[in-house]
Structure 1
Amino acid sequence: MSVRLFRKALCAAVLLPAFAVSSSALAADEPLKIGFVYVSPIGDAGWTWQQDLGRKQMEAELGDKIKTQYVENVPEGADAERVIRDLAEQGNKLIFTTSFGYMNPTLKVAKQFPDVKFVHSTGYKTAPNVATTNARFYEARYLAGIIAGKMTKTNQAGYVGAFPIPEVLQGINAFTRGMRSVNPAAEVRVIWVNSWFDPGKERDAALALMSQGADVVSHHTDSTATVQAAEEQGKYAIAYHSDMSKYGPHAQLAAVTHHWGDYFTGQAKAVLDGTWKTSSTWGGLKQGMAAIEGFGPALPDDVKQLVLEKKAEIIAGTFAPFAGPITDNEGKVQLESGVLDDNGLNKMNYYVQGVASKMPTK
């Protein structure tokens, strides 16, 4: 080897490690890429709106340590799988999939990308790189039921439901139990729209319930249609997911809401510091993941105070919305005593006494 070639080889041997260290440091400084899949448009209220507020809170707290992106209005099923896979292929190392019907698509893509962490909202299946999260909406739903029971004049409330899955049934049943705790003569009627987000169907369902005598309506769907319909008809409404008072300034009595920012931020921090583990998180009023807020001007102070007192009992653990006895609306005792556990909650497939509707056959 010539002296010139030897010197070149020596320089390369010295410079190469330095370059490698420099590249590694650069990679370490790159932000964590985080993707979100939303089932409906973000809009300015509702489920996806609240999810996106959580994303923005996470961005505000973690700054340039992360970089987020989202895809909105993604149908559950094959489209969801395609979008989730695309986010993983784009280099997102943490992906939040934010609807119940994304559960199996999330698990399928997670197997193909074992180095990516996934968090699925409202589901119950986990994997080594898939965590789940949900809020105990039913706690705040019980409080909303107290409000409905105190404010109704017809002793009838209407409930617009998306799909008859346990999470939605928990809300209907907690609302009914809360309502009847202060008004034993009250009844709740349910109409299913078989969609998370379909403002037209939601509006039609709300109008039908009010035509049947409901003077308080609520919903477990994503749009503001139910609250708007109540405003137009001069009835009361309990909003869901977010404060919808600007759509029903006279109608809204309160809003049952959920809050994801702290949870999202915690998950991102865990990925950043290498401590992330699969988990199932189900937080309620005590953890600040569910809330009742947006109290309307029509709500009397004494009713609000009653609600706040019951809220404190739930947070303290001295009261549970699903304490026995629990009897379904066909007369079958579902729980004689004690408190319905999480397994029972997640298998709920019945209406409680006070729901004047029949369960769907499918």
Structure 2
Amino acid sequence: MLIDLLISEKEKKTGEVLLALPIKREKIFYSKFLSIMIIILFQLLFWITALYYFGRVTNPLIILPLTITAILLLSITGLIGVYSKNYKDSALIVTVTFIVLFFFLFGTSTLYLVGLKEVAAISPLSLVIAIENGTYSTKETIFSILPSLSFSLILMFASTALYRKDEFYFGPRPSITQLIFNLAGKLQIKSRSYGPYFIALIFGFIAVLISIILEIFFGIITIYFTESIFVILALWAIIEELSKSIGIFSASHYYKLKWHEGLMAGMASGLGFAIFENIMFTGFALNIFPDYAVRILIMRTFLSGGVHIVSTGVIGVGIADKKYLTLTFIIGVIIHFGYNIMMLQGVL
């Protein structure tokens, strides 16, 4: 419904009337978002009340994780609706996006049923199962809600930022590459000495989220066709190095990088990626192995952090000097893949 509200304005040319009103555009977006959210909440209340009355639901508190799930779905569809030019455009994006989302929400919830409760807790739908079983805790509730809610807020911020731009109504719509470069442009600082490294560092943080989405999607496809853990580890190395490289390419768009500056920009992107990833792993460790959380943080800081910095630093040299790009990317992926294999052997 939210996509319909947003795209119908573009196709029927009724959005111009709204834009002419003395109302901030983000308020227009949030009014659409909240109107759909209120409808969903009423539906949730109705069905949960009915199911509770007939004994199909034992604890009405399941409305909390279901509401968080609804917010996540709406924030995703909101961003798609703002970015898409028409219904055909949005249909393709929605299909791909919701396949990934399906595996995140329901795939991780199945892990709860096979006993991997701590890992599955990242999905809010796992919290529904825990509440129904009476096994939920405050820590598990926070751990299930916080990632989805945080991601939803990021998506809503991105949606309102795009909704304020005339290009998404009147065209030409910027490509994703242009949007990335625009974001990098806003991250520019006055100091030429640190500008490219700051951009690369921030994009290193963002690369973690990009990697997670792509790794879930392509990882599941790879398991289906090959069932080879080594292929998956190689794929993940490629995905993460590509994601981290976005920051270096963005920095090179505004700064002419020499090879050593490309190296430093790559190291900055790898550092940002490692910091965010280590925070996430430590959060998992606190939930699964609380006694080993500090040890895991220290180990990953020096091992994983070092690998990310070195591998992406090598790729940064190739981005600065394009004639070495293919070679340096292969070397960076090999370094990363070698680390993944080493960690796998350590686990096994």
Same-fold call, TM cutoff 0.5? no
Q: Which has the higher helix share?
A: 2
**Which is higher, the Rg of structure 1 or of structure 2?**
1
| Greater relative contact order (Cα < 8 A, sep 6+) | 1
- More strand per residue: 1 or 2? 1
Q: TM-score scaled to structure 2, two decimals?
A: 0.29
